[in-house]
Every structure is written in C-alpha cells, then in structure tokens.
Amino acid sequence: MTLQELKREFVRLYGGDESDVRLFMSPGRVNLIGEHTDYNGGYVFPAALTMGTTIAVRQIPERVIRLRATDLPDFVEADIDNLDNYRDIKWGNYQIGVAVELQKRGYEILGCEMLFYGNLPYGGGLSSSASIEVATALALATFSNEKKGVTEPVNMIEMAQVGQGAECNYCGVNCGIMDQFASAMGKKNQVIFLNCKNLDFKLVPLEMDGYKIVIANTNKKRSLADSKYNERRAQCEEGLKALRRALPEAECLGDISMEQFIEHKALIEDEIIRNRVEHVISEDNRVLLSIEALNSGNVVEFGRLMNGSGDSLRDLYEVTGVELDTLVEEARKIDGTIGSRMTGAGFGGCTVSIVREDAVDEFIEKVGRAYEEKIGYAASFYVDNVGDGGHEIK
Ligand code: GLA
C-alpha cells in the first residue's frame, strides 16, 4: 500500500478529507547478535529494517482514541479518561498501553483517529509489536508536545521506554528494551551497539561489501511463546541470585564475566539454570568480539560468532525448535553463507543469515525447498535494507 493509498483509505473509513491527516512510521528490527541479553543488562546489536508500521492519524475534539487497521475488521474506540479498561481487547492493546504509559509520564493524550498499516509479518519475530508501539508513542507524544508548545523533538529513547512499558505493564510480556530501542533509534545503514544496562549506544556502520542480510521466517504459529519467554527471564533471575552469593556487587548477569562465571558456576545447582546463565554470559562476550571483528573488517569472523550464538541459543538457552533449526542447518550448507542463527525471542519467528550477494538466490531456493520438504509448509524470505528509526513522514 502506498502512502497515498493509506491516506485515501483513512478518509474512506473515517470521513473528512486528507488535509489534516499526518503520517508516522516506525520500523521492525533484526538483531544480528546478542540474544536474550537485554533483560540481563547485557549487550545487543540490532538494526532497524525498512519494513514497519505506518500510522495515518488525525486529531479530533472528542476525548477518545479510535483505532483501525488496513488488514483487520477490528474497530476500537477507547475513552481517554478510562484507558485502563481496555487490557483485554485483543487487537489495540499495544496502542492503548502506550497511551497509558505516556499519561504516567505526564503527556496529555488528545483525541485522535488512527489507521495502522504494517508490512512486517505479524508475530514473526521482527518486532511488529515494537514498531506499532513506537509509532503510536511518537504520534501521541508529538500531539501532546505541540499542544504544550514544546519545541524540542520528541525524545525517542523515552518513546522506546514507553513502548517497553506498554508491553510489560499492559500486555503481559516482560520484554527487554532492545526491540523498541531499535525501532525508535535506528539509522539507515547503521547497526546499534547498545548497552542495555545504561542505554549507552554507538552506531556502527554496516560495512559488509559483497554480503547481504537475509531473513527467513519459519511461519510457525507462536503458541506459548510469551509464557516461555517469561520463564527464561525468571530462570536468569534465579541464576543471578545464586551467583550473587559469591558476587554480591553484581546487579545483573551483564555484570558478570566469563571468568567469574566459571569460577562460581557450582553455586547454581540446577543444570538447566546453569546453562541459561552460561548462554547469557557467553553471548555478551560474543557481542563484544563481533564489534571488534566488524571494526577490523573481518566479516567471516563475525559470521562465525553468529553461528556460535545460534548454537548456544539452541543447546543452552533452548529457544529454537525444529523449524528454526532446519532453516539454520540448511542455510549453513550453502556455499556463500558465512553465518546463520535465529533472531529475536525464538520459539518460531525468524533466522538471520549473512550471505554472499551472488549466493542469495540459490540460498532462498535451496533453503526454501528443504524447509518445505521437512516441515510441510513454506518459509518466507526477506532481503531488506537497514532503515531509519521512528519518524514523521512529511
Ligand atoms: C524479544 C524481546 C526482546 C529480547 C529478545 C531476545 O524480541 O522483546 O526484548 O529479549 O526477544 O533477545
């Protein structure tokens, strides 16, 4: 759908004309390395995509938020003075959760009509939800600032926190900050090296001449993913608690080095918990090594570290499954793939691979065929570019 078509559809659904309709966009993300480290105060290395969520929106005098999407029959009308009442709506709760979080931070929520258009696979592990949250937060905060006469641009790190807050406090997924941060703060052709403990970040130019990022979607329905995600988080907290008996100054697993873990790991009696913690601490190390590899132009070493991350997520963190494993195994068989791993929370969703440009067609054909033969339905492939974070389209 083009932006013009989106505006036309807006007018068809809500009436009026296009003159007061504005557009806000925020992208999905792909994480190159650093998985399940964000909520442990560790490092991540995600990039914003060009695919994402675009909202057409108009301010209205009534004290309600109206929500529709281009591809759903749902219609939500939420009373701005009672936003806590909409927790149980299925579609629309990310947006209302965002409005609640903004209210908590002193933003004034003003009446509006919104139409959502997304071109990310929904629930596919590319952070479609974060892109909805950040785009919504940016639109609502922009209106609030304009009314108050605030002239500085909207604080996008705060918008990431608002999105994360909506997900955790309103939607029941205890997620970290990575997805919303990447959606809010991404920059074209740059990858975000983010310290999730203090939100310090650096933009690293994506210089992979001759290589492409290829995303493969398992198209697996993500059942129970949220509860397993919250379970992993609780296991990390249990592991931290045990290690803190020897390392009381550690506030999170991100504060603990590999050497310290090896020295004290016997304090974690449960083998599963020990494995979870080993993944997190070794993964943090791999992110640091990855940055070094990319800084010295060593893409092959970067790919090797991605493979190490993927294996650790499969064997120690146990968040893959036959669908993701098949995509990764088949990807690594292609001459021209230098690294392949699952990306995002896992339990379905997508893989990310670095593939030599001239091998991309063969990759998609062969991996796609092998996947369908083994799993019984098709995977989808995306060769997207790295795009900008949340912004108003003027
Ligand atoms: C999901 C969460 C993120 C992060 C990843 C795993 O995408 O939303 O916060 O924890 O899983 O790295």
9-20 pLDDT, tens digit per residue, is 999 999 999 999
Residue with CA nearest ligand 1 atom 9: 176
pLDDT in tens, 33-59: 999 999 999 999 999 999 999 999 999
Residues 284, 37 contacting (CB under 8 angstroms): yes
Phi and psi angles of residue 352, each rounded to the nearest 5 degrees, phi first = -125, 135
CA angle, corner 184, sides to 181 and 190, nearest 5? 85
Going from the Cα of 29 to the center of ligand 1, the distance in angstroms, rounded, reads 11
> Which residue has the least CA distance to atom 3 on ligand 1?
176
The predicted structure's pLDDT at residue 121:
87
Q: Of 208, 170, 162, 153, which is closest to residue 32 (Cα–Cα)?
A: 208
Q: Judge whether residue 369 has pLDDT over 90.
A: yes
Of 340 and 206, the structure prediction assigns the larger pLDDT to 340
The backbone region for 92, taken as left when phi is positive above 0, alpha when psi lies in -120 to 50, beta otherwise, is: left
365, two tokens: 């054909």
C-alpha radius of gyration, the chain, whole number: 21
Of the candidates 79, 84, 88, 179, the residue annotated as catalytic is 179
The rounded distance, in Å, linking the Cα atoms of 350 and 175 is 17
Question: Which residue has a Cα nearest atom 2 of ligand 1?
Answer: 175
Q: Measured in angstroms, how far is the CA atom of residue 102 from the centroid of ligand 1?
A: 22
281-301 as b/e, with b when 16 or more CB fall inside 10 Å? bebbebbebbbebbeeeebeb
Alpha-helical runs (H) found in 171-250: 178-185, 225-243
Q: How far apart are CA 350 and CA 335, in angstroms?
A: 21
Q: CA-to-CA distance for 63 and 252, rounded, in angstroms?
A: 42
Least confident window among 146-160, 163-177, 307-321, 322-336: 163-177
Q: What is the pLDDT of residue 240?
A: 98
pLDDT tens digits, one per residue of 185-232: 999 999 999 999 999 999 999 888 899 999 999 999 776 678 899 999
Q: What is the pLDDT of residue 223?
A: 65
Residue 178's closest CA among 217, 125, 119? Answer: 125
- Ligand 1 pocket check: which of 33, 36, 230 to mutate, most ligand atoms within 8 Å of Cβ? 36
- Find the farthest-apart pair of alpha carbons in the chain and give their distance in angstroms, rounded: 68
Q: Give all strands (DSSP E) within the chain, no chain letters.
A: 22-33, 43-59, 64-69, 75-79, 112-118, 190-195, 201-205, 211-217, 337-343, 350-356, 380-382, 391-393
Predicted local distance difference test score (pLDDT) of residue 222? 72
For residue 280 the two structure tokens come to: 């997190």
Using the mean position of ligand 1's atoms as its centre, give its distance from the Cα of residue 347 in Å. Answer: 12
Specify the ligand 1 atom closest to the Cα of 44.
12
Q: Under DSSP, is residue 91 helix (H, G, I), strand (E, B) or coil?
A: coil
The continuous run of DSSP H or E covering 373 comes out as: helix 360-375
Average pLDDT over residues 163-183: 94
> Is 179 labeled as catalytic in the residue annotation?
yes
> Cβ distance 23 to 6 under 8 Å?
yes
Structural domains in the chain?
Answer: 3-205+388-393 (3.30.230.10)
In sign, the C-alpha dihedral spanning 41, 351, 271, 174 is positive
Please tell me the distance from the alpha carbon of residue 348 to that of residue 226, in angstroms, as a whole number.
Answer: 12
Instruction: Report pLDDT for 224.
Output: 61
Q: Which residues line ligand 1 (CB under 6 A)?
A: 35-36, 38-39, 175-176, 178-179, 344-345
Query: Which residues does residue 269 pair with via DSSP β-bridges, in sequence order?
Result: none
